Structure 1
Amino acid sequence: RCSSHDNVHEVIVRMSRTALCQTYPVNSLLELTLKGNEKVRGVVYCTDEVSQTVVLKKSLNHTTLASEIFVIQANAVTNTDIIEEDAGEKESVPLGNISKKALEQQERKSIKLAEEALQHINQKASPAGQTVFDRLLKACNQVEWTGESILVLNQIQVDPPYGVENCRLLSDAGRQSEGSLDRVKKIVGHST
């Protein structure tokens, strides 16, 4: 059983310890000797004070797209040789050319998708109504708001409070739309 005096001593020891990021500078090429004389060489990717670990990254010879990652307990290191400081620049993969035109196209596409998503939100509808709408949209694709009612495939209307009993065929929908009505009722029934 530890006394409060022991806990204070432990905190003082921990506080006096040099930070891992100072002992193992990020982007430095190091060769670490571990207990058992095993040697590990790589660029310091990061350190973690909480778990007391050092993460080394070593580029693979046969590819520039992958690296070997080593997570090492700091207390397992018996010797540290700094081979080169700020070696991370040499170890990293160069960025490819970035096309301004491609970025602008991606931005336009993202804006269009965001605007389309906003069109599907009805500020007047209840949260339950919006949930039913979202489910119907996912299943049927052709869904829109008409006031507080939901219009599905231009044939079926779902009125508030958006229950199965609130689903009805529009008068000009025709007999073949009854199968669609059954499907909509199933979706609405699972939403509520």
Structure 2
Amino acid sequence: MAAATTTQTLPLSSIYPINTLMELTLNNNNSKEVTTGTIYCTDEVSNTIVLKKSLVHTTLTSEITVINAAVVTDRRIITAATAADEKEGEKTVLPNVSRRMVEERERRAIKLMEESFSHVNQQASPEGQKIFDKLLKACNEVSWRGESIIVLGEIRVDPPYTSNDCVLIGKGGGLDGHSLERVKNIVNAAAVKYNHGVSGSRD
């Protein structure tokens, strides 16, 4: 499959069809990464692709990842819906679905999209975004404040996102040195893994 730059004039929805299982090659700051998932949706305004990945050994069934289409250097379709599949789907008798259920699912989907976009910081470095993603998986309550990462509302990780840049903020929130050390360990492990990937791609 040709790189994404060869089909730049096509809309993202045509390049990345919804419900297609794809393998995407990403280039973040000269660090090559390959990720696989099902295309959940695309957004032309922000030039982003939303990828849905199935998870194992966790209570969550799937993970949503928002990708900037500009960093996709190559793509490969693993599984695509065929005309036969679509025709078979037309024959399937669908169960009765209430309007309330449809509206509730739509609200959940919109909320999920808004949360996913809020997790992407265009101002942060690729390393900062990687560390944010790792902290989000481990601590759940993580947000951006400028280029700084706020963990559990009381720990701040400032650029360049090393363990020495992790500090407790505020007082009386119940967090202690153990929580800070845990965040430092996550940041340190994520930074080592990221730097190893960058150096490996340059060799």
Please give the range of the TM-score, normalised by the shorter of the 2 chains.
Answer: 0.3 to 0.5
The higher-RCO structure (CA 8 Å, 6+ apart) is 2
Q: Structure 1-normalised TM-score?
A: 0.47
The TM-score, its normalising length taken from structure 2, stands at 0.45
